[in-house]
Homo-oligomer: A and B are copies of this chain.
Amino acid sequence: MTSGTLTTRLNVDLGTRAYNIEIGTGLIAAAGAKVRDLLPTPRVFVITDTNVADHWLEKLTTSLDDNAIRFAVKVLAPGEQTKSMAQVEELTHWLLDQGVDRKSTLIALGGGVIGDLTGFVAAITLRGIPFIQIPTTLLAQVDSSVGGKTGIDTRHGKNLVGAFHQPLLVLADTGALDTLHRRQLLAGYAEVVKYGLINDPEFFEWCEVNGQAVIDGDPASRRRAVEVSCRAKAAIVANDERETGDRALLNLGHTFGHAIEAEAGFGDQLLHGEAVAIGSLCAFELSRRLELCTGQDVERVRAHMTAVGLPTGLDGIAGPGWTADVIHGHMARDKKTEDGRMTFILARGIGKSFISRDVAMDTLNDLLSDILPK
């Protein structure tokens, strides 16, 4: 390309459902040309939210126009409350009103909410139609847009209704990160750190050195953070698409995180990535109390979260009922709970995480009591 843009291409190796992830700048403006040959027919439905539409929608639709791809656009309200069954019903009706058919393709232009919702709508409309992810937040680029998990929330918690449905293509335009609020960027960065904590101690070291540059906007650092994260996730997903085994490692920090989010109300009060930061630290602290890792490991995780400005506890986060019992109750309803036994991702050190269903409830409840706001 004349712009001299560097694009990295990764493949998620899922047999007949394999797809590419492209990472670089200028990808939204080039989307029409990138998707044209992948579409079963040149007709797409773009789903986005008002925040993202302001910055990126015109670039996308211009590139679709330039490539003779017919499109219709639905702009939704931003925020987690959009991931609802009511919204799914409204979107499916809109698509059917427009004459969607099995060769039509949905495009999710936005963060995790838009991606999860659009993917789920694609999974169930006409029993499944293709979709493309164009993630515009760091969180979506490094986590939710890759791997085919789609879904919506219910009053019981996040992502409790959904489907596995792999995209045709993921276009992660790191230029989109320039329009994010710093707090959103930081929240996404918690998922980047997670890949180091799971199984890549060198990447955690890289984060300790370069994390601030990722957050401050250095293009090369951002590209590397997204690339390493996507590569790590793609490898895990390719081995275990439907989470019958190691894919659960990706939930490091999420059993605690989802429970904390459920209580805080899935809103601006506490962003998902912030909950994951707190949850990851809880997972390490629980591992320490179970004598699996050292206090130094825990302090290193805490120090990095603090250094970049991520929260490390519940202080200052209003929740209607912060009690150990309430958090425990949310955790027990996690999707990974089986026969009443909760699943935890624990760690024997940084980059040495594993799946455990044998956590003593006393130890857990003591920890939950200790993390409550003082």
Contact = CB atoms under 8 A, between A and B. Distances in A.
Interface of A: 41, 85, 88-89, 92-93, 96-97, 99, 101-103, 120, 123-128, 149, 151, 154-157, 159-164, 242, 332-333, 335-340
Contacts of A338: 41, 101-103
Contacts of A120: 124
A348 to B, nearest CB: 26
A161 B88 CA distance: 10
B160 A125 contact: yes
Contact of A160 (B96, B151, B161, B335): B96
27 contacts: A85-B85, A85-B92, A92-B154, A92-B160, A92-B161, A93-B155, A96-B156, A96-B160, A96-B333, A97-B156, A99-B332, A101-B335, A102-B335, A102-B338, A124-B124, A124-B162, A124-B163, A125-B160, A125-B161, A126-B160, A126-B162, A127-B159, A127-B162, A127-B164, A128-B164, A128-B242, A163-B163
In this complex, which of A126, A151, A155 has the most chain B Cβ atoms within 10 angstroms of its Cβ?
Answer: A126
Contact of A101 (B99, B125, B157, B337): B337
Contacts of A157: 96
Contacts of A101: 335, 337-340
Given A85-B85, A93-B155, A155-B93, A163 B102 contact: no
A163 B127 contact: yes
In this complex, which of A88, A101, A120 has the most chain B Cβ atoms within 10 angstroms of its Cβ?
Answer: A101
A339 B151 contact: no
In this complex, which of A124, A126, A151, A156 has the most chain B Cβ atoms within 10 angstroms of its Cβ?
Answer: A124
Nearest to A43: B339
A241 to B, nearest CB: 11
A46 to B, nearest CB: 19
B149 A127 contact: yes
Nearest to A96: B156
A44 B313 CA distance: 39
A339 B100 CA distance: 9
A287 B338 CA distance: 54
Contacts of A337: 101
Contacts of A151: 127
Contacts of A164: 127-128
B103 A339 contact: yes
A333 B125 CA distance: 13
Contacts of A123: 163
Contacts of A332: 99
A112 to B, nearest CB: 16
Contacts of A93: 154-156
A96 B335 contact: no
A96 B101 CA distance: 32
Contacts of A126: 160-162, 335
A156 B85 CA distance: 18
Contacts of A102: 335-336, 338
In this complex, which of A157, A164, A337 has the most chain B Cβ atoms within 10 angstroms of its Cβ?
Answer: A337
A311 B336 CA distance: 51
A128 to B, nearest CB: 7
A160 B93 CA distance: 10
Shortest Cβ-Cβ A-B pairs, 7 listed: A96-B156, A85-B89, A127-B162, A126-B335, A124-B161, A103-B338, A92-B161
